[in-house]
Amino acid sequence: MHPFAYRRPASLAEAAAAWRAEDDPRWLAGGQSLLGVLKLRLGAPTALIDVARLPELAGIRREAGALVVGAACTHAEIAASATDIPALAALAGGIGDLQVRNMGTLGGALANNDPAGDHAAAALGLGAEIRTDRRRIAADAFFTGLFETALEPGELIVAVAYPLCRRAGYAKVRNPASGYPVAGVFIAEAADGPRVAVTGAGPCPFRLPDFERALAAAFASTAVDRLTVAAAGLNRDLHATPEYRAHLIGVLARRALAAAGAPP
Amino acid sequence: MRITLEVNGRPIAAEVEPRTLLSAFLREHMGLTGTHVGCDTGQCGACTVHLDGRAVKSCMVLAVQADGRRVTTIEGIAGADGGLHPMQAAFRRRHALQCGFCTPGMVMTALDLAATLADADDGAVRAGLAGTLCRCTGYRPIVEAVKDAVAAREAG
């Protein structure tokens, strides 16, 4: 790692001031992705601003119709405490491994937007609202490309509000070495209809409108078991071809429905 | 940068570079070489220690991130009389090590796992240990040791 300065502001206001005072800063939350980037010298920020202990980013609470999760909550905290949305708790409990879940945070995962990130599937699948220090961004407008989001330079995720849903489920196929999803599908029966979100398969998480229409007619596996996904545009790497990922999405959609308790 | 933290129950103050990893701080500044560095990329889990009681990979944590917090290493879990911790005793009883390189990280991971595990079946134990690799592949006795420790906790 190249040398960098380290700052740990005590409040959101101090954090914004610390950002403005540095040449090329990065937010540091759990560091489970960022430290790997720094070790490989893929990034060389002049300063890390540690937001993991900011009180404004802590805790999980209920609001009317939504579960609001602080951006600095670790995956382990969400797995243990997001009981109002069991599919979200289960997803968080399946990220990485035990040690990573104890450090890695929700805000860090969403801001990084790794193409194989688990949290993106839940945020998009539940129609979450990403709350920053500047504004509120709908999940549908948040994930803009490979490792790209709608966040502006220095904009910090404070919390994520997940609308409560009737039922939801998540299923993925993990790469056995890295643990990252080769593909993952999150399906929710939300207040305004079914939502189906895919991670790991494309450059960026995306929804499946034809699956959603079919599930609106009947929230059951049989509604989607004849649907197919086009391979064009899906990821090709040493682990899987686009065609294999397209096939997996159909399989995982049925597993996610089963996890949601939908009839077969 | 000056940091103050608690390591194995002792208050410590030290001067570190911000880029110093917690693993390097423990081994090189503190001389606590029981924390092993295997891959240095957050994959093998040999460097696992507890930060405020939860298992983390110390090669993926900056020493400055531990400022003001409580760190426990493999050197810090034995009883006051120097006797083995029950998890260490379970590992010894089950011969849950071959070369021993992963053992400190495996024990520290197992302690977190055993504290939070509702049901100590094989699948849950193996999933919980997924972030800690035994390069001898001697997982079966390790899983048995963790199940023993959980059973002993429930019996106690």
For B56, the domain range is: 2-76
Same domain, B65 and B110: no
- Which ipTM did the prediction report? 0.96
Residue B98 lies in a domain: yes
Which of the residues B3, B15, B35, B54 would you substitute to probe the A interface, choosing the one with the greatest number of A C-beta atoms within 10 Å? Answer: B54
Summarised one tens digit per residue, pLDDT across range A199-233 is 999 999 999 999 999 999 999 999 999 999 999 99
Same domain, B69 and B132: no
Of the CA atoms within 13 Å of residue B34, those in its CB half-sphere come to 16
Residue A41 lies in a domain: yes
> A169: which 2 tokens?
């489920």
Cα of A52 vs its chain's centroid, Å: 17
Same domain, A126 and A200: no
Please identify, among B76, B103, B127, the residue that sits at the C-terminal boundary of a domain: B76
Residue A14 lies in a domain: yes
B1 closest CB neighbour out of A6, A97, A179: A6
Same domain, B69 and B124: no
Same domain, A24 and A39: yes
Summarised one tens digit per residue, pLDDT across range A47-75 is 999 999 999 999 999 999 999 999 999 99
Please identify, among A130, A163, A196, the residue that sits at the C-terminal boundary of a domain: A163
Please identify, among A163, A198, A221, the residue that sits at the C-terminal boundary of a domain: A163
SS3 for A26?
strand
Q: How many distinct structural domains can be found in chain B?
A: 2
Same domain, B90 and B39: no
For A189, the domain range is: 167-259
pLDDT of residue B156: 60
Evaluate if residue B118 carries a pLDDT over 80.
no
Same domain, A159 and A210: no
Same domain, B61 and B114: no
Same domain, A76 and A197: no
- On chain A, the residues whose CB falls within 8 A of the CB of B55 are 98-99, 102
Summarised one tens digit per residue, pLDDT across range A73-114 is 999 999 999 999 999 999 999 999 999 999 999 999 999 999
Q: Is B86 touching A (CB cutoff 8 A)?
A: no
Please identify, among B53, B76, B99, the residue that sits at the C-terminal boundary of a domain: B76
Same domain, A156 and A75: yes
Terminus-to-terminus CA distance in chain B, angstroms?
A: 44
Please identify, among B47, B76, B105, the residue that sits at the C-terminal boundary of a domain: B76
Report the CATH number at residue A182: 3.30.390.50
Same domain, A116 and A144: yes
Q: Is B109 touching A (CB cutoff 8 A)?
A: yes
Query: How big is the A-B interface in CB pairs under 8 Å?
Result: 75
Q: Which of B24, B43, B136 is nearest to A179 (CA)?
A: B43
Same domain, A150 and A195: no
Task: Judge: A8–B67 Cβ closer than 8 Å, yes or no.
Answer: yes
Task: Judge: A98–B112 Cβ closer than 8 Å, yes or no.
Answer: yes
Judge contact between A158 and A12, C-beta under 8 A.
yes
Q: Is A215 touching B (CB cutoff 8 A)?
A: no
Same domain, B6 and B40: yes
Residue B81 lies in a domain: no
pLDDT > 70 fraction of chain A, expressed in percent and rounded = 100
SS3 for B27?
helix
Evaluate if residue B119 carries a pLDDT over 80.
no
pTM of the model: 0.96
Judge contact between A120 and A199, C-beta under 8 A.
yes
C-alpha to C-alpha distance for B14 and B9, rounded to whole angstroms: 16
Residue A113 lies in a domain: yes
Same domain, A41 and A142: yes
pLDDT of residue B76: 97
Same domain, A65 and A107: yes
Same domain, B71 and B130: no
Give the other-Cβ count within 10 Å of B18's Cβ. 19
Q: Which residues contact B18 (CB under 8 A, 6 or more apart)?
A: A3, A4, A5, A6, A48, B1, B62, B64
Q: Which of A54, A52, A50, A49 is nearest to A12 (CA)?
A: A54
Please identify, among A128, A163, A198, the residue that sits at the C-terminal boundary of a domain: A163
Report the CATH number at residue A136: 3.30.465.10
Same domain, A146 and A173: no
- On chain A, the residues whose CB falls within 8 A of the CB of B109 are 98-99
Q: Which residues contact A225 (CB under 8 A, 6 or more apart)?
A: A250, A254
DSSP one-letter string for B34-82: TS--SSSSSSS-TTEEEETTEEEEGGGSBGGGGTTSEEE-GGG-S-TTS
Which of the residues B1, B25, B65 would you substitute to probe the A interface, choosing the one with the greatest number of A C-beta atoms within 10 Å? Answer: B65
Terminus-to-terminus CA distance in chain A, angstroms?
A: 51
Task: Judge: A35–B42 Cβ closer than 8 Å, yes or no.
Answer: yes
Same domain, B123 and B144: yes
Q: How many distinct structural domains can be found in chain A?
A: 2
C-alpha to C-alpha distance for B22 and B29, rounded to whole angstroms: 10
Task: Judge: A31–B60 Cβ closer than 8 Å, yes or no.
Answer: yes
Judge contact between A33 and A171, C-beta under 8 A.
no
Band of pLDDT at residue A126, cut at 50, 70 and 90: very high
> B52: which 2 tokens?
């405020």
